[in-house]
Amino acid sequence: MTERVREILSWYSSDNPGTLTNLARILNHGRLGGTGRMVILPVDQGWEHGPARSFAPNPDAYDPRYHFKLALEAGCNAYAAPLGFIEAAAHDFAGEIPLILKANNHDLLADEKDSWQALTASVDDALRLGCCAIGLTIYPGSALRKEMYENLRRYGEEAKKAGLAVVAWSYPRGSQLSKEGETAVDVCGYAAHIAAEMGAHIIKVKLPTEHIEQDAARKVYESQKIPIGTIADRVRHIMQCAFAGRRIVVFSGGAKKEDEKALFEEVRGIRDGGGHGSIIGRNSFQRKKADALKMLDTIMGIYEGKVK
């Protein structure tokens, strides 16, 4: 085990050996294994956005087995998906890649101002399928956020007792936030901190913009001259909000970008700002496999420092 991985594990000293072992499995796997950086393939978009919107651009992606193969061939640290997608192929790929079971999900079949997440899998499911971690989404800013916080707390406690790691998708949204506010730097920092306070080992947030949503926060950012002018500045601030960088934070790739250069520039900003990596779904599986592998190769090369 590398000294960098040992250092990261030391941040979670209250956890039991089982949880630390599973966290180490993620940190040590794949091309970036041992570096403290990570690239995770998440495929919950079929549920979150609908199957055609998610997979029609690359029909091979309708098959759950495709995503296991993509994650393995690319050298990802882990693969995250809802219960059905993992169940459909876990037997064929048992022990080959660390798995994260997405234990709550949300659909787009109803118009809503305040988003929610239904509990769709259990800690027992994660153990049965050989997963290293469970993952849950919370929506800071939603009127329904308190129930989601309580579910994360309850599932997190159960998972840790069972020796699993906990991953939190912390995505601000809801009737009290503007659309621009969902990726505002003050709001994303707040979301990262909430997930850390809830006991998450790995925190997933969106890459923040320069926008500041809350007037009270704007006064502090201006008076304290908090740097937010570049991607690296904003990532560095998110890391500060996650216990001064002592929690693993990975950043969402978002919707598919036709311009790969823009995506690579974001990855450079994450690297230079001290972020731990990327969790990239649609930008991966909505491309043909050869194109996705080439793109992921470049992203990992940026994190390794081999690609400028």
Q: What is the pLDDT of residues 179-189, one digit of tens each?
A: 999 999 999 99
| 109/32: higher pLDDT | 32
Is 111 a residue whose pLDDT tops 80?
no
Query: Could you give the CA distance from residue 281 to residue 252 in angstroms, rounded to a whole number?
Result: 8
**Percent of the chain scoring above 90 in pLDDT:** 93
Query: Could you give the CA distance from residue 280 to residue 284 in angstroms, rounded to a whole number?
Result: 6
**Percent of the chain scoring above 70 in pLDDT:** 100
Asked if 165 and 155 touch (Cβ cutoff 8 Å), the reply is no
pLDDT tens digit string along 1-20?
999 999 999 999 999 999 99
Is 112 a residue whose pLDDT tops 90?
no
pTM for this entry: 0.97
pLDDT tens digit string along 206-255?
999 999 999 999 999 999 999 999 999 999 999 999 999 999 999 999 88
What is the predicted pLDDT for the residue at 141? 94
Q: Which domains does the chain have, with CATH numbers?
A: 3-304 (3.20.20.70)
The per-type count for the chain, helices as H runs and strands as E runs, is 14, 10
Collapsing DSSP to helix, strand or coil, 130 comes out as coil
Give the count of alpha carbons within 13 A of 6, CB side only.
3
Active site residue 204: yes
What is the predicted pLDDT for the residue at 214? 97
Q: Give just the sign of the alpha carbon dihedral 44, 81, 179, 276.
A: negative
Task: Please give the mean pLDDT across all residues of the chain.
Answer: 96
What is the predicted pLDDT for the residue at 114? 87
Q: Which of 146, 204, 206, 294 is the catalytic position? A: 204
What is the predicted pLDDT for the residue at 258? 87
